[in-house]
Amino acid sequence: MAGFIREMLAALTPEAGPAAPDPVQQAALSRLDERLARFADEGADARRTISIQPGECAVWDGNPRDQPGLTADSCRSLIESIRQEGGNRIPVLVRANPLGTDQPYQLLVGSRRRFCVDWLNHNGRPEIRLSALLVDLSDEEAFRLADIENRERVDISELDRARSYQQAVDRFYGGVQSRMAEALNLSNSQLSRLLALAQLPEEVVNAFACRDELRVRYSELLTPLLRRDEQRAQVIAEALRIGEEQQARARSGRRMIPPATVLARLRDAAVLSVADQGRGLPVMAGGTQVGRVRPGKNGGLAVDLAIAGDAEVEEVLRGLRAVVLAARGEE
């Protein structure tokens, strides 16, 4: 069984960077689900196929899925499918919990299926059990498998994914970002951008109406503005004001402040007086400052860059573009 899963890990290594969602592909089984369904249909290694109650497994803490965020409405189609079939045709993946723990299993893949079976158990179908494959994987292998599954879904926020990566760098890869990037088939720049999103202050995150609105590209604009103490203070103060406004709007049932407006207000709080800042704004690439954008002649901007020989050009250009737009007061 472990060999089968490791073969899947090798075969299902995702492409670098997510593709644009395709509605037809979203409605179909994911590549991982297809393989699990085929494995179950063929009845291979039946000794590893078990039937358990949802409460017998705890969701593994290395999985980035926001378990409390699952609802009956968001899982309605899957609930109906499991109800009609009398169980989940595509098995979840679990591994044994250490002896002495309250729940005998850890859930590695299949949070939605577990939620749906649990919901049905409490809503008229107590006889349905959760079909599971019992596997023996290391934490790092379990993380890669969960990451593959979650990258094939559309209901994992970029922030949740980024924060799971932030924890995984130290937990599974000894703090070496390049090792993690290689294991996940990401470029170092892609991983750096995700980690920058994970490091945004909680006040900034709370300024947005919901965490699903946060995007990697927002951190590219905000991170340089948060590196200087005076600008960081301005951004966080404005974020707190926006957060209070969002709460007031939610209480009164008014429309929430849209993410583009939130982003513009945070940016403006830091760069409104950029023309008076002789030192200008830092240009960052891969967590390293590579230059500055400062006030130039005739109301323009001057750019100073010092690029290392091994710097990724696209990353430098992205950082430069974000700062130029911020200095101009544009999106």
Q: Please, how many CA atoms are within 13 Å of residue 67, restricted to the half-sphere of its CB?
A: 15
Is the predicted pLDDT of residue 143 greater than 70, yes or no? yes
| Mean pLDDT across 252-278 | 78
The confidence band for 29, taking pLDDT boundaries of 50, 70 and 90, is very low
Torsion angles phi and psi, residue 152, rounded to 5: -90, -5
The predicted structure's pLDDT at residue 106: 93
H or E stretch covering 282: strand 281-285
Q: How far apart are CA 2 and CA 17, in angstroms?
A: 27
Task: Count the helix, strand and coil residues of the chain and give each as a percent rounded to the nearest 5.
Answer: 55, 10, 35
Neighbours of 186 (CB within 10 A): 21
Is the predicted pLDDT of residue 19 greater than 50, yes or no? no
Tokens of 133: 């494959």
Query: In the chain, pLDDT over 70 holds for what percent of residues?
Result: 77
CATH class (in words) of the domain with range 2-155: alpha beta
125-144 burial, b if ≥16 CB within 10 A, otherwise e? eeebbbbbbbbebeebbbbb
pLDDT per position as a tens digit, 94-124: 999 988 888 999 999 888 899 999 999 999 9
Q: Which residue has the higher pLDDT, 213 or 282?
A: 213
With contact defined as beta carbons under 8 Å apart, do 281 and 224 qualify?
A: yes
- ∠ CA 27-142-78, nearest 5°, is 25
Is the pTM of the predicted complex or chain greater than 0.85? no
- 250 CB-contact burial (10 Å; exposed 0-12 / middle 13-18 / buried 19+): exposed
Q: How far apart are CA 184 and CA 162, in angstroms?
A: 13
With contact defined as beta carbons under 8 Å apart, do 104 and 97 qualify?
A: yes
Domain coordinates in residue numbering, the chain:
2-155, 157-199, 200-328
- ∠ CA 313-198-277, nearest 5°, is 60
| Mean pLDDT across 15-23 | 43
